[in-house]
Amino acid sequence: MQLSPEDYQQQHKQRLAWMPWLYYKLKPKQLSWAQPWQDAFQQRLQALETVEIAENCFIAPEANIFAEPGRLISIGAGSFVAAQCFLHGPLHIGENVAINHSCSIDGGRNGVTIGNNSRLANGVKIYAFNHGMAPEQDIWRQNSQSKGIEIGQDVWLGANVCVVDGVKIADHAVVGMGSIVTKDVPKWAIVAGNPAKIIGDRRDKA
Protein backbone atom coordinates (compact mmCIF):
# COMPACT_ATOMS: atom_id res chain seq x y z
CA MET A 1 0.00 0.00 0.00
CA GLN A 2 1.43 3.31 -1.08
CA LEU A 3 0.67 6.28 1.14
CA SER A 4 0.61 9.91 0.09
CA PRO A 5 1.99 12.93 1.98
CA GLU A 6 -1.63 13.82 2.75
CA ASP A 7 -2.08 10.45 4.50
CA TYR A 8 0.87 11.19 6.75
CA GLN A 9 -0.38 14.71 7.44
CA GLN A 10 -3.79 13.40 8.45
CA GLN A 11 -2.24 10.88 10.83
CA HIS A 12 0.01 13.55 12.29
CA LYS A 13 -2.96 15.89 12.79
CA GLN A 14 -4.63 13.17 14.84
CA ARG A 15 -1.44 12.68 16.86
CA LEU A 16 -1.23 16.42 17.56
CA ALA A 17 -4.88 16.51 18.63
CA TRP A 18 -4.22 13.98 21.39
CA MET A 19 -0.67 15.14 22.25
CA PRO A 20 -0.68 18.88 21.53
CA TRP A 21 2.69 19.55 23.16
CA LEU A 22 4.19 18.03 20.01
CA TYR A 23 2.88 21.03 18.04
CA TYR A 24 5.49 23.21 19.73
CA LYS A 25 8.27 20.84 18.62
CA LEU A 26 7.39 20.76 14.92
CA LYS A 27 10.08 21.48 12.37
CA PRO A 28 9.60 24.28 9.79
CA LYS A 29 8.57 21.79 7.09
CA GLN A 30 5.80 20.43 9.32
CA LEU A 31 4.74 23.89 10.46
CA SER A 32 4.24 24.84 6.82
CA TRP A 33 1.00 22.80 6.82
CA ALA A 34 0.19 22.59 10.56
CA GLN A 35 0.12 26.32 11.25
CA PRO A 36 -2.31 27.21 8.40
CA TRP A 37 -4.49 24.28 9.47
CA GLN A 38 -4.64 25.60 13.05
CA ASP A 39 -5.10 29.23 11.96
CA ALA A 40 -8.08 28.33 9.77
CA PHE A 41 -9.70 26.18 12.45
CA GLN A 42 -9.24 28.79 15.19
CA GLN A 43 -10.61 31.59 13.01
CA ARG A 44 -13.70 29.50 12.25
CA LEU A 45 -14.23 28.68 15.92
CA GLN A 46 -13.96 32.35 16.89
CA ALA A 47 -16.52 33.24 14.23
CA LEU A 48 -18.97 30.59 15.46
CA GLU A 49 -18.60 30.95 19.25
CA THR A 50 -17.79 33.72 21.75
CA VAL A 51 -14.17 32.62 21.95
CA GLU A 52 -10.95 34.65 22.03
CA ILE A 53 -7.74 32.80 21.19
CA ALA A 54 -4.33 34.45 21.60
CA GLU A 55 -1.25 33.72 19.51
CA ASN A 56 0.61 30.41 19.41
CA CYS A 57 -2.26 28.30 20.76
CA PHE A 58 -3.23 24.80 19.67
CA ILE A 59 -6.89 23.76 19.72
CA ALA A 60 -7.75 20.20 18.70
CA PRO A 61 -10.62 20.15 16.19
CA GLU A 62 -11.95 17.17 18.19
CA ALA A 63 -12.41 19.43 21.25
CA ASN A 64 -15.99 20.56 21.98
CA ILE A 65 -15.95 24.28 22.78
CA PHE A 66 -19.17 26.21 23.39
CA ALA A 67 -19.45 29.85 24.43
CA GLU A 68 -22.73 31.65 24.00
CA PRO A 69 -22.84 35.47 24.23
CA GLY A 70 -22.15 36.38 27.85
CA ARG A 71 -20.20 33.13 28.35
CA LEU A 72 -16.84 34.15 26.91
CA ILE A 73 -14.02 31.64 26.67
CA SER A 74 -10.61 33.32 26.47
CA ILE A 75 -7.46 31.30 25.85
CA GLY A 76 -4.09 32.89 26.56
CA ALA A 77 -0.97 32.75 24.41
CA GLY A 78 0.84 29.43 24.16
CA SER A 79 -1.99 27.36 25.65
CA PHE A 80 -3.44 24.18 24.21
CA VAL A 81 -6.69 22.20 24.37
CA ALA A 82 -6.50 18.52 23.40
CA ALA A 83 -8.99 16.13 21.81
CA GLN A 84 -12.28 15.14 23.42
CA CYS A 85 -12.33 18.06 25.84
CA PHE A 86 -15.61 19.78 26.67
CA LEU A 87 -15.35 23.49 27.47
CA HIS A 88 -18.35 25.69 28.28
CA GLY A 89 -17.91 29.31 29.29
CA PRO A 90 -17.53 31.54 31.08
CA LEU A 91 -13.92 30.40 31.20
CA HIS A 92 -10.63 32.26 31.30
CA ILE A 93 -7.52 30.24 30.49
CA GLY A 94 -4.20 31.98 31.12
CA GLU A 95 -0.97 31.75 29.15
CA ASN A 96 0.95 28.49 28.62
CA VAL A 97 -1.85 26.38 30.09
CA ALA A 98 -2.15 22.71 29.14
CA ILE A 99 -5.60 21.14 28.99
CA ASN A 100 -5.00 17.52 28.07
CA HIS A 101 -7.44 15.16 26.44
CA SER A 102 -10.90 14.35 27.81
CA CYS A 103 -11.11 17.22 30.30
CA SER A 104 -14.55 18.67 31.06
CA ILE A 105 -14.94 22.27 32.25
CA ASP A 106 -18.22 24.14 32.71
CA GLY A 107 -18.13 27.71 33.96
CA GLY A 108 -21.69 27.71 35.29
CA ARG A 109 -22.86 31.27 35.87
CA ASN A 110 -19.84 32.72 37.66
CA GLY A 111 -17.06 31.14 35.65
CA VAL A 112 -13.79 29.25 35.91
CA THR A 113 -10.36 30.92 35.88
CA ILE A 114 -7.14 29.00 35.26
CA GLY A 115 -3.89 30.85 35.87
CA ASN A 116 -0.76 30.99 33.75
CA ASN A 117 1.49 27.93 33.40
CA SER A 118 -0.99 25.49 34.94
CA ARG A 119 -1.38 21.90 33.80
CA LEU A 120 -4.55 19.78 33.66
CA ALA A 121 -3.88 16.10 33.05
CA ASN A 122 -6.36 13.98 31.12
CA GLY A 123 -9.86 13.49 32.44
CA VAL A 124 -9.97 16.48 34.82
CA LYS A 125 -13.52 17.60 35.67
CA ILE A 126 -14.25 21.19 36.79
CA TYR A 127 -17.86 22.28 37.33
CA ALA A 128 -18.66 25.77 38.59
CA PHE A 129 -22.29 25.05 39.44
CA ASN A 130 -24.40 22.76 41.57
CA HIS A 131 -28.05 21.79 42.02
CA GLY A 132 -30.20 22.37 45.07
CA MET A 133 -31.32 19.32 47.05
CA ALA A 134 -34.54 20.43 48.75
CA PRO A 135 -36.47 17.22 49.59
CA GLU A 136 -39.86 18.54 48.48
CA GLN A 137 -38.76 18.94 44.85
CA ASP A 138 -37.34 16.61 42.23
CA ILE A 139 -33.61 17.10 41.65
CA TRP A 140 -34.07 18.06 38.02
CA ARG A 141 -36.44 20.86 39.05
CA GLN A 142 -34.00 22.40 41.54
CA ASN A 143 -32.48 25.79 40.89
CA SER A 144 -28.79 25.67 40.02
CA GLN A 145 -26.26 27.66 42.03
CA SER A 146 -22.86 28.96 40.94
CA LYS A 147 -20.03 30.46 42.99
CA GLY A 148 -17.22 30.06 40.46
CA ILE A 149 -13.86 28.29 40.61
CA GLU A 150 -10.38 29.81 40.68
CA ILE A 151 -7.25 27.85 39.83
CA GLY A 152 -4.01 29.76 40.35
CA GLN A 153 -0.76 29.90 38.44
CA ASP A 154 1.64 26.97 38.10
CA VAL A 155 -0.95 24.49 39.40
CA TRP A 156 -0.88 20.82 38.45
CA LEU A 157 -4.12 18.82 38.51
CA GLY A 158 -3.43 15.11 38.07
CA ALA A 159 -5.44 12.75 35.90
CA ASN A 160 -9.16 12.42 36.72
CA VAL A 161 -9.15 15.14 39.39
CA CYS A 162 -12.59 16.64 40.12
CA VAL A 163 -13.04 20.20 41.40
CA VAL A 164 -16.41 21.30 42.82
CA ASP A 165 -18.02 24.72 42.69
CA GLY A 166 -16.73 27.44 45.00
CA VAL A 167 -13.19 26.07 45.34
CA LYS A 168 -10.01 28.15 45.05
CA ILE A 169 -6.74 26.35 44.32
CA ALA A 170 -3.86 28.71 45.04
CA ASP A 171 -0.62 29.18 43.07
CA HIS A 172 1.91 26.33 42.82
CA ALA A 173 -0.41 23.69 44.31
CA VAL A 174 -0.47 20.06 43.16
CA VAL A 175 -3.56 17.82 43.27
CA GLY A 176 -2.95 14.07 43.10
CA MET A 177 -4.51 11.76 40.52
CA GLY A 178 -8.14 10.86 41.13
CA SER A 179 -8.67 13.39 43.92
CA ILE A 180 -11.92 15.25 44.57
CA VAL A 181 -11.31 18.83 45.69
CA THR A 182 -14.13 20.14 47.89
CA LYS A 183 -12.26 22.84 49.85
CA ASP A 184 -9.76 25.60 49.10
CA VAL A 185 -6.14 24.53 48.56
CA PRO A 186 -3.36 26.84 49.85
CA LYS A 187 -0.22 27.87 47.98
CA TRP A 188 2.40 25.18 47.44
CA ALA A 189 0.21 22.47 49.00
CA ILE A 190 0.16 18.90 47.73
CA VAL A 191 -3.28 17.41 48.24
CA ALA A 192 -4.79 14.02 47.46
CA GLY A 193 -7.76 11.83 48.26
CA ASN A 194 -11.54 11.96 48.42
CA PRO A 195 -12.09 14.50 49.77
CA ALA A 196 -8.64 15.92 49.02
CA LYS A 197 -6.47 16.67 52.06
CA ILE A 198 -3.01 18.17 52.43
CA ILE A 199 -0.32 15.49 52.30
CA GLY A 200 2.75 17.63 51.70
CA ASP A 201 4.34 20.88 50.58
CA ARG A 202 5.81 21.22 47.12
CA ARG A 203 8.72 23.28 48.45
CA ASP A 204 9.92 20.21 50.34
CA LYS A 205 10.47 18.39 47.04
CA ALA A 206 13.46 20.51 45.99
The CATH number covering residue 192 comes to: 2.160.10.10
**pLDDT tens digits, residue range 74-122?**
999 999 999 999 999 999 999 999 999 999 999 999 999 999 999 999 9
* Sequence-separated (6 or more) residues with CB below 8 Å from residue 196: 175, 176, 179, 180, 181, 182, 183, 185
- Burial, 186: exposed, middle or buried (Cβ in 10 Å; 0-12, 13-18, 19+)? middle
Task: For residue 22, give the DSSP letter.
Answer: G
User: Which sequence positions are flagged as catalytic?
Assistant: 131
What is the extent of the structural domain holding 9?
5-205
The reported pLDDT for the residue numbered 72 is: 98
**pLDDT tens digits, residue range 127-186?**
999 988 888 889 888 888 999 999 999 999 999 999 999 999 999 999 999 999 999 999
Strand duo 73-75 + 91-93: pairing: parallel
The reported pLDDT for the residue numbered 1 is: 75
- The total domain count for the chain is 1
**pLDDT, mean of residues 25-53:** 97
pLDDT > 90: what percent of the chain? 88
The reported pLDDT for the residue numbered 139 is: 86
